[in-house]
Structure formats: structure tokens, C-alpha cells
Amino acid sequence: MTNIGVSQQNRAQSQAAGGVIDRARALARVDGDGELMVSLVDIFFTESAPLMEAIRTAVTSGDPVKLEKTAHRLKGSVSVFGAEAATQTAFELEKIGRDGNLTNAAEIFFRLEQQMASLQPALKQFRSELHPS
């Protein structure tokens, strides 16, 4: 097991990535276990596309229950990495689903797509820093 301390260097790297993710907070969530974080990043890459597609389907078909559930799952996934913007946007979609009024859902989903597009390269870089190959 590889432990990586939460250091000022990690915090600086977090900010250098444009604040998309918070590396220090992410590592703190796994007690500095870099191998576990690499596994979580890998799982995220496997599950995020189907979740985004499910959210898209829920928005376009007007299914508030599906929107609430899938946005909640995505919110949990992105929050692990300290991806605050994507976490907040997923939470907005979750609340929209819970409230059942999908009027602004497409607009908010578009914002989430943009945030996810920024998140993926940041996570790839983070993963490569944790597990250079």
C-alpha cells in the first residue's frame, strides 16, 4: 500500500490544475492511500459515462425520479475528488429531480457536461502522478 502525505505540494498541484479537483482533499478522504485513489479514479472512468447518459436520458424524457437517483450517484462520485463545481451542479440536478420540476434541467445538465469535460483530464493527470507507468 502506498501512502501519500497531504502536503503543501499536493495543495499547490490542486490549485495548478485550475481548481477542477482538490488533490489534497481527495487524498485525505483515503488517508493518503495513493493506490486506493488510483482505483477510485479507474472506477470513476468506468461509471461516469453511463451515469451521464442516464442523466441525459432522464432530462430529455422528463423522468424526475431517474434524474434524482442518477444525479445523486454522480454527485457522490465526483465529490470524492473534491470536484466542487461538478458536485454542486450534480446536486442541483438531484434537487430538480426531487422537486419534479425539470424546467431548467437541460441548461444545468449542459453545465455539468462542461464540468465533466474539464474533470476528466484533471483526473487523468492526477492518476498519472499517483501511479506513473
Domain boundaries, the chain: 8-130
Contacts of residue 27, defined as CB under 8 A and 6 or more positions apart, other chains included, come to 4, 6, 10, 33, 34, 37
Burial class (CB in 10 A: 0-12, 13-18, 19+), 35: middle
- 8-130 maps to CATH 1.20.58: no
CA 120 vs. chain centroid, Å, equals 9
What's 33's DSSP letter? B
- 6: pLDDT strictly greater than 50: no
pLDDT (tens digit, 9 = 90+) per residue, 40-54?
999 999 999 999 999
- 3: pLDDT strictly greater than 60: no
Q: What is the pTM of this model?
A: 0.84
